[in-house]
Chains A and B, each alone.
Chain A
Amino acid sequence: MRIKIRYILTVIAILLFQIRFSQAALEINVNDGNLKPLPIAIPSVIDKQVLEKDLGFDISRLIASDLAGSGLFYPINPKAFLENLSSISQKPNFNSWRVINAETLLSAELSYRDNDIVRIDYRLWDVVAEKALVEQTLTTSRNKWRSLAHVIADTVYTRLTGEKGYFDTKVAFIAESGPKTNRIKRLAIMDQDGFNPRLLTTGNDLVLTPRFSPNSEDLVYLSYRNGQPQVYIYNLESKQTYVVGSFPGMTFAPRFSPDGKKIIMSLQEGVGSNIFEMNLSNFERRRLTNTPDINTAPSYSPDAKNIVFESDKSGTQQLYVMDANGNNVRRISYGTGSYSTPVWSPRGDYIAFTKISKGRFMIGVMFADGSGERIITDGFHNEGPTWSPNGRVLMFFRESPGESGGAMIYSVDITGYNEKLIDTPGFASDPSWSNLLN
């Protein structure tokens, strides 16, 4: 019964009692090339009951870690704080925060209900203008405190940058184990920061390239479960899988359409591979390319009007954009080397890709018309970028060479700064970033 209540609460997750945004004087311009992180004071969340030791402290540290991790905020060392807030209703002494160079202050207080429920009231203050920018109350089950902290960090991020956040998100990936010549690969998901990893398949069947559905409820991926590699959908709640249509050959490289109603993927036909769209409501399929080349790795533009994909029709792998009906194919990559695994940014502006040149594997971005190519990271083997839902951060995997080498997942700002290793239980590849969850 308790489990059921907890489950329902989890599903209901977070209730917003009150939210109020006031007009912005304080704002970070995230498109400014030479960015100075915004100083923010995040004291430990006030907890008068202390049913769980350090919970208030842990929540405040996670919010600070999220914001610092974005590269856009500079959380001030709490040792420098001069004022000790004892209640959320207490108005801060703004002067004592200004003297330690805080421009913003996040004050919060938590309380418990029925042991299992935690309620948090928080205020984001503009220390200079001496006014509250956000006042909000959230409740959730206690074991979901990390999600709660991520939601608060997202709200702060949104209020101060004007852009959607990305902290309360998940990443689907392939968890790898075993020797390089007989790698065991399992479908897995984790929080965006690497916490709460969960394995979804046993490892008996080789699985590759999971991609989140737009509502974050399903994964579409490649599995060898029936011998021939085919595209399947896995439902995260029911844990059920089903094959995406019956095709005569290998289907691979799947992705959801932005409305989640279609799958776009490749079908291998003889020597060539072509791109098909599969309607999930009636299982009608539509051919979008028809050449004897390798046409694969399709990705929709966020408005679903265009599709970017890779093809070797010129002799090497290059990026092409076509209309969503397959017409009007135009090449967009013209640099030296070959280009693959294109992914359209959720903002619509950039396309991220893997580039292979002179034996090195790079992650880069270019504008959707092919201009403005920029390499984000370069090395022995970087592959498979995925976008944060706000289009500001990329994850990808980096493979180290040699017999003991393997893949690890990294995140990096699209400016190329702030690269971070995502801590996973073992080797990990093929990341796919979800949309915001709550």
Chain B
Amino acid sequence: MIYKKVLNLSVTFLLIFILTGCASRQKIEQVLFGGGNDNEADIVSNAIPGSSQDFTVNVGDRVFFVTNSTSLDDDAKVILERQASWLELYPEIDIIIEGHADERGTREYNLALSAKRAEAAVSYLESLGIVSDRIETISYGKERPVAACSSEACWSQNRRAVSVVIADN
């Protein structure tokens, strides 16, 4: 089941990659050479509605937590509310929520803590009417940071719950 979903996810990403390739290259060239107008708005609107990119860019795929906490602040709730609206719009789409922790905890505790963060996001989505069998969770503890520095600037990005779109099948 999960293999199938991962496969589907890869296909989705591949599709997005192909479709957005030109736009991304354009953006990189702008960054490198400093020329051209800001086309970011165009790129965003290029995301296929209902795609994983649409979800990530136009909805927001992640919420953040303070140290050792699993509670959702107002910013996190706003993001999850947008996720819930989007999921209502695309009822065929399921998500998997990845829980993460920063490096400032011990390994086993961080696994449990990040599981709790993912569960907090699930509970809130459920309270907004998303049925639980559309949401899976996985806990990564401190094993998959997105930011590698050893200061709060990075730790705050790593304490997160990320919703990843998987096509329903």
Contacts and interface: CB of A to CB of B under 8 A. Distances in A.
Contact of B106 (A227, A272, A384): A384
Interface string B126-166: 00000000000011010111111110000000000000000
A270 interface: yes
Chain B contact residues (Cβ within 8 angstroms of A): what range?
20 to 34
Contact of A401 (B115, B119, B150): B150
Contacts of B149: 402-403
Contacts of B107: 208-209, 341, 383-384, 430
Contacts of B138: 227-229, 250
A25 interface: no
Q: Please give me the 5 A-B residue pairs with the lowest Cβ-Cβ distance, nearest first.
A: A401-B150, A403-B148, A227-B2, A253-B108, A180-B148
A317 interface: yes
A383 B107 CA distance: 9
B27 to A, nearest CB: 22
Given A183-B143, A228-B138, A270 B112 contact: no
A179 interface: yes
Interface in A178-201: 179-183, 185
Contact of B109 (A181, A228, A229, A294): A294
B6 interface: yes
B112 A268 contact: yes
A365 interface: no
A294 B139 contact: no
Interface of B: 2-3, 6, 68, 70, 103-109, 111-113, 115-116, 119-120, 138-139, 141, 143-150
Contacts of B106: 297, 317, 340-341, 354, 356, 383-384
Nearest to A340: B106
Interface in A287-316: 294, 296-297, 310, 312, 316
A310 B113 CA distance: 13
A252 interface: yes
Contact of A341 (B68, B103, B108, B145): B108
A294 B93 CA distance: 31
Contacts of B112: 252, 266, 268, 273, 294, 296
Contacts, number: 97
A188 to B, nearest CB: 16
Given A250-B139, A296-B108, 17 more contacts: A181-B147, A208-B107, A208-B143, A209-B107, A227-B3, A229-B139, A252-B112, A253-B108, A271-B70, A273-B112, A296-B112, A312-B109, A316-B68, A340-B108, A341-B108, A380-B150, A402-B150
B108 A271 contact: no
Contacts of A229: 111, 138-139
Interface in A340-359: 340-341, 354, 356, 359
Nearest to B113: A294
Contacts of A116: none
B108 A297 contact: yes
A405 interface: yes
A271 B119 contact: yes
A433 B143 CA distance: 23
Contacts of A294: 109, 112-113, 116
Interface in A142-183: 179-183
A392 interface: no
A296 B112 CA distance: 8
Given A229-B139, A383-B106, A271 B120 contact: yes
A258 to B, nearest CB: 20
A58 interface: no
A340 to B, nearest CB: 4
Given A229-B138, A340-B106, A252 B111 contact: yes
A359 B152 CA distance: 12
A319 to B, nearest CB: 12
A378 interface: no
A381 interface: yes
A407 to B, nearest CB: 10
B144 A182 contact: yes
Nearest to A292: B116
A270 B126 CA distance: 13
Contacts of A380: 150
Contact of A181 (B105, B116, B139, B145): B145
B146 to A, nearest CB: 6
